[in-house]
DNA sequence: TCTAATGGTAAGTAGTAACTTACCGTTAGT
DNA sequence: ACTAACGGTAAGTTACTACTTACCATTAGA
């Protein structure tokens, strides 16, 4: 499984997207992340593992706390992936338009 | 469920991503899409429905055929969503770096 | 009008994924 | 050293989703 494949699957889950968006606002430890979410702390840990494996977040130990933050490189990789298809899609649209004219 | 939420969930599935990537190369009818894929034609139809509902593809009837193509607007919407978090993540990184210096 | 081609939908199944509670290891402070 | 805080992991359950076959509606051509 390539990395951006994992990334799309990771952001496909609503709860995980909320975690991701909260981390986008500010880096946070797991307990604080779990507060305000409707799921348990272990669930958050599991989601963080998936996000980390997808290259979307990184973590840093600080005493007993573990601070998670977004990894911009993961986000950029997804952006680049989408860019490829955006370009292709635009080209296809252009071809279709030209074919239409030839009719 | 917002639209980009559906989009991420849609591209999270490997088979659906293959369908999406094949459509990126060229617009195609359902039967041709199903050829060369390891899943049945009805499965492809179901995937196309999900992709369409997510705003990632559009279809056009041509006789008995139904031609699917990528919708660049859907791709652009995802790109924009990611851009927001990319900016935020970079800002957070900058803040963290500055806080590090103050230590 | 009959037939073949195309593809969407219904119903059922099997595998996976998201969640829970319970448990354990590690670090900080007293 | 003992205790509390923090968080990762294991085990089990439930819900969902991707897939299959079977069926049906629509269109094109003979």
What local confidence, expressed as pLDDT, does residue B43 receive?
A: 98
CB atoms within 10 A of CB A8: 24
Q: Which residues contact B58 (CB under 8 A, 6 or more apart)?
A: B52, B68, B69, B71
Cα dist from A37 to A22, A28, A72, whole Å: 10, 13, 24
Cα–Cα dist A81/A71, whole Å? 16
What local confidence, expressed as pLDDT, does residue A18 receive?
A: 96
Statement: the CB of A29 is under 7 Å from strand D: yes
Cα–Cα dist A49/B59, whole Å? 38
Contact: B5, A26; criterion CB under 8 Å: no
Contact: A75, B92; criterion CB under 8 Å: no
Under a CB-based contact definition with an 8 Å cutoff, are residues A88 and A11 in contact? no
Q: What is the pLDDT along chain B (103 residues), one digit of tens a residue?
A: 677 889 999 999 999 999 999 999 999 999 999 998 999 999 999 999 999 999 999 999 999 999 999 999 999 999 999 998 777 777 766 666 555 544 4
Contact: B79, A75; criterion CB under 8 Å: no
What local confidence, expressed as pLDDT, does residue B94 receive?
A: 63
User: What is the pTM for the complete model shown?
Assistant: 0.88
Interatomic CA–C1' length for residue B75 and nucleotide C4, angstroms = 38
From the list B17, B75, B85, the residue facing A70 with the nearest CB is B85
Which residues of chain A carry a pLDDT beneath 50?
101-103
């Amino acid at each position: 499984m390539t990395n951006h494949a994992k990334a799309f699957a990771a952001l496909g889950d609503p709860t995980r997207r909320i975690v991701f968006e909260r981390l986008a606002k500010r880096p946070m430890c797991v307990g604080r992340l779990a507060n305000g979410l409707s799921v348990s702390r272990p669930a958050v840990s599991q989601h963080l593992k998936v996000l980390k494996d997808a290259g979307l977040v990184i973590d840093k130990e600080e005493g007993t706390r573990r601070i998670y933050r977004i990894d911009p490189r993961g986000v950029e990789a997804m952006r680049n992936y989408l860019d490829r298809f955006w370009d292709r899609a635009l080209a296809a649209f252009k071809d279709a338009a030209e074919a239409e004219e030839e009719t």
